[in-house]
Amino acid sequence: MDLLTGFKIFIEKEQLFAPDQSLLLAVSGGLDSVVMAHLFKAAGFRFAIAHCNFQLREAESVRDESFVKTLADVLQVPFHHIRFDTLTYTESKRVSIQVAARELRYEWLEETRTKAGYSFIVTAHHMQDSVETLLMNLSKGTGISGLHGILPAQGKIIRPLLFAQKEDLLAYAQENGISYVEDSSNLTTKYTRNFFRHKVIPVMQEANPGTVPNIAASIARFREAEVLYQQALEKHVRRLVEQKGNMYMVPVLKLQKTIPMQTVAWEIFRKYGCTPPQLPQVLELLDSTSGKIVETATHRIIRDRQWLLITPLVETEAAVIVIEKDRSVVATANGILRLRTVVRKEQTPIPASAAIACLDKASLQYPLLLRRWRQGDYFYPLGMRKKKKLSRFFIDQKLSVPQKENIWVLESSKRVVWIVGLRIDDRFKVTQHTKDQLTIEWEAL
């Protein structure tokens, strides 16, 4: 099959774009991108050419820029170009030249695409590039997502040459008398990539000349395997993760029995800031006692009886946790609330601890809200007929500023029910008429 036919078939098979869409081709002037531009012309697609001059190779950079401009003229398509002060960017952002070039390039391409109304940015990655990516990921260590190589479509970037081998592009250029410039350095590829390109892959090809197309065919299969992986994973996550407000609950026993446990646990906890080296600590919670905590960058994972509770590390001031009627546990950044309803028996004493609130359930209106206290909040302290400002109450209690910051208030239809861990409101206390008693325990972490 000739290159142009393969190109059209690949675009259709992967549904990269529609024939009426206009595209922005990133063209460096090298073999891959120049052949790509010619293929787009030959196929009759609508496109423009974009070129970045990173001003890192002096005369060579200027030569490339004017080469690509001429190419755009010859192909009679719009030409977009820019010159970057890459070195200054590198210094100010403290990143490597490779990272700088990459960031500058994609930012400008996306800006140009949006402004001029192109549907997609098109890059000239081919089969070898994708195989290099897979092998690099492998040598660094990877999960299944590292096996899909370079994707044909990702957001607004498409790569219609992934079906083609470097040699095919070279042959096409020769057959069609297409000239291109030789890059003395390839800015957008790191050293490691060049090493895999020039050292690793050639040795593998010595063992098996079909290495590149064989790995490319495997990549196509891995992409589908990843879909199956995700399907099975989603089922496990639905089964294992229960959301309660801004908290997530994972049942310990169910997770322990899950097959495959490690991977499913990883895929669950990574979403809450868990890193690979932290995973063993999180899994230790499965065998530990209630109260043990692992902190990730963003969340607390708390062993609480038969559950792992996942709760955000920092509650924003605006954070409001909604507590529905059936809720039995609420985890916050600094403590856990446990709720249970019991039928009130007159002889049962009311615990003296301020950490336990005994409330007349009939006096409450659901959903309850758990929120930070605010200036202007007031309540009727238990045993008093007169309302009191919370700010005043806190002074009487001699709370420090950080203590005050950590105070939670339980609210029922805009009325304060409980200053959590300190005092309940008189209007919600248990009386001789109480039938259902809501007991809430506060366990500070």
Annotated binding site for ATP: 28-33
User: Least distance to a copy of itself from the beta carbon of 260, Å?
Assistant: 4
Query: How many Cα neighbours within 13 Å face the side chain of 374?
Result: 13
Calculate the alpha carbon distances from 317 to 375, 393, 397, 406 in Å: 12, 20, 22, 10
435 burial via Cβ count (<10 Å: 0-12, 13-18, 19+):
exposed
User: Least distance to a copy of itself from the beta carbon of 314, Å?
Assistant: 31
Query: Is residue 83 within 8 Å of residue 101, measured between CB atoms?
Result: no
User: Least distance to a copy of itself from the beta carbon of 166, Å?
Assistant: 17
Q: Which residue's CB is nearer to a copy of itself, number 88 or number 194?
A: 194
Rounded Cα distance between 301 and 26, Å, is: 45
User: Least distance to a copy of itself from the beta carbon of 358, Å?
Assistant: 47
Q: Which residue's CB is nearer to a copy of itself, number 178 or number 200?
A: 200
In angstroms, what is the C-alpha Rg of the chain? Answer: 31
Question: Which residues belong to the annotated binding site?
Answer: 28-33
Query: Is residue 307 within 8 Å of residue 243, measured between CB atoms?
Result: no
Q: Which residue's CB is nearer to a copy of itself, number 6 or number 367?
A: 6
Map residue 18 onto helix, strand or coil: coil
Map residue 218 onto helix, strand or coil: helix
Query: Is residue 176 within 8 Å of residue 246, measured between CB atoms?
Result: no
Tokens of 344: 């009130």
Scored b (16 or more CB within 10 A) or e, 247-278 reads: bbbbebeebeebeeeebbbbbbbeebbbeeeb
Q: Which residue's CB is nearer to a copy of itself, number 53 or number 211?
A: 211
Q: Which residue's CB is nearer to a copy of itself, number 177 or number 277?
A: 277
Rounded Cα distance between 409 and 141, Å, is: 47
Q: Which residue's CB is nearer to a copy of itself, number 1 or number 59?
A: 1
Rounded Cα distance between 76 and 283, Å, is: 61
Q: Which residue's CB is nearer to a copy of itself, number 232 or number 384?
A: 232
Q: Give the interface with a copy of itself as residue ranges (CB under 8 A).
A: 134-136, 138-144, 146-147, 192, 195-196, 199-200, 203-204, 206-208, 210-211, 213-215, 217-218, 220-225, 227-229, 231-233, 235-236, 259-260, 262-264
